[in-house]
Amino acid sequence: MIKDTIVDGFNNAPHRSLYHALGLTEEETSRPLIGIVSSYNEIVPGHMNIDKIVDAVKLGVAMAGGTPIVFPAIAVCDGIAMGHTGMKYSLITRDMIADSTEAMVMAHGFDGLVMVPNCDKNVPGLLMAAARLNIPTVFVSGGPMLAGRVEGKKRSLSAMFEATGAYAAGKIDDEKLREFECKTCPTCGSCSGMYTANSMNCLTEVLGMGLKGNGTIPAVYSARIELAKHAGMQVMECVRKNIRPRDILTAEAFDNALAADMAIGCSTNSMLHIPAIANECGLKIDLSHVNEISEKTPNICHLAPAGPTYMEDLNEAGGIWAVLHELLEAGLINGDVMTVTGKTLKENVASCGVLDPEVIRPIDNPFTKTGGLAVLKGNLAPDGCVVKRSAVAPEMLVHEGPARVFDSEEEAISFIYSGKVQKGDVIVIRYEGPAGGPGMREMLSPTSAIAGMGLDKDVALITDGRFSGATRGASIGHISPEAVSGGMIAYVNDGDMIAIDIPNYSITLKVSDDELQERKKTTEIKRKTNLTGCIKRYAAMVSSADKGAIINV
């Protein structure tokens, strides 16, 4: 306990004097000190309500006999950072968040933690920190946004980006674009589809680090305030029972997360974050293992952008615990793993049935018999690449077409908006990987432009960068090795034929080995040389995408 090392004894009188400077009483410092990591800020819509969540957590901790102390974590809004240099700084914040949280906890000796993240890199960054620090920890997110409504239909941010593409193609006018702009994001919270933020908040429940509803209770519901209070109370139970993250984040728990990922159709970014979190636990996740789980795990949820349902619908249908109940009944997950409730996953979900079979399909009537994600391999990506299979039109699951090659997202966007894309094209965007970007930019703008133009059933996109969870269509990211590392994507030329076979997990550049060897002799790898600050350090130390874009030290 903190009082044993920092509070008690004559030698700790200087520490106590500084607690007095904070206004803490002796009664407060005699109790477990619980750090509340708040990612509240006024620029990220998913975080603008987190001050209310933090206040509720503080009350829960105090009611349960602890002393809550708040400190901050940074956050980037991927939507606002999208399509410009700012996106280079998104993924790198995952490690900044983990490192800064570690520093704060180790410097101040907290007895337990409540993590309050919400958007894309906050959740995995704080999960990495929790695993690294291994002190009792509970997660409670800020919650998802309610869906917007345009033309009587529910909408989300992906619809806004696609409307931009439709506008560029002359399919909608200024007035309609303005309507989308004003109505697609109607409340605070993480964007309302199964994008990266909601994917990771849902998987936090699956991993056993969050309470029921953490991923699905909308940000504006009072039930989320109640959830936050319970999270504050529950961390005190974890402290008393000494339940720690690595007791929960086991190999079996990560397999459960992969199975749930397949069932609910998470963002492809989960294939960066799950390996990175596992790495902090001393565990390795081979991407080939993903396909093994996908083959036996049906996709039973089709949330936006894959389908017409949203996070609020999943919540009303029973939420993630209802999904886990279905998977457990089918023998697809391990129910014996420990969770922050102090109970096993099986005990947690025993009474959590599905309330709407159109939102959470029965196992024997899935949307597809295989999982929502697929890892493809071939000469173009010998170490793998990732596609959100559940968001790909059936006619694009197998595709062959000529490459249209670009060395940056900006070049590709300019080409797409120029109207030069032809049906059948495979747009290749390279030098956007973890080291080559650097920062592995998420590219919703080009994929949404293609979809908005009505070409998502005719055109594929591949990149060594990554795609947003809001992306739909045959958008294949995380090509490994990346271009800057001499991966085969660096040697693709305009007009080369690329064959994609998602059901058979393959991606092939149809160029002879002899020709590729000649290209390697004459093609110069393009490296960024004008890097400074944190982005320079990141480029020098980051691993490839298939390893989770972790920092190599």
Pairwise CA distance, residues 23 & 29, whole Å: 11
Report the sign of the C-alpha dihedral through residues 224, 226, 227, 232, in that order. Answer: positive
468 an active-site residue?
yes
CA 415 to chain centre: 28
First to last CA, the chain: 31
- Asked if 52 contacts 219 with a C-beta cutoff of 8 angstroms, the reply is no
Name the catalytic one among 158, 294, 468, 480.
468
Pairwise CA distance, residues 235 & 255, whole Å: 25
Closest by CA position to 78, among listed 242, 255, 231, 199: 199
Pairwise CA distance, residues 374 & 476, whole Å: 10
Pairwise CA distance, residues 388 & 550, whole Å: 22
In this structure, the strands spanning 426-429 and 398-406 are parallel
Q: Which residues, 6+ apart, have CB-to-CB distance to 492 below 8 Å?
A: 380, 403, 405, 428, 430, 498, 509
Report the sign of the C-alpha dihedral through residues 102, 106, 107, 109, in that order. Answer: positive
Pairwise CA distance, residues 274 & 297, whole Å: 17
- Asked if 373 contacts 271 with a C-beta cutoff of 8 angstroms, the reply is yes
Q: Which two tokens stand for residue 316?
A: 């009303």
Catalytic residues: 468
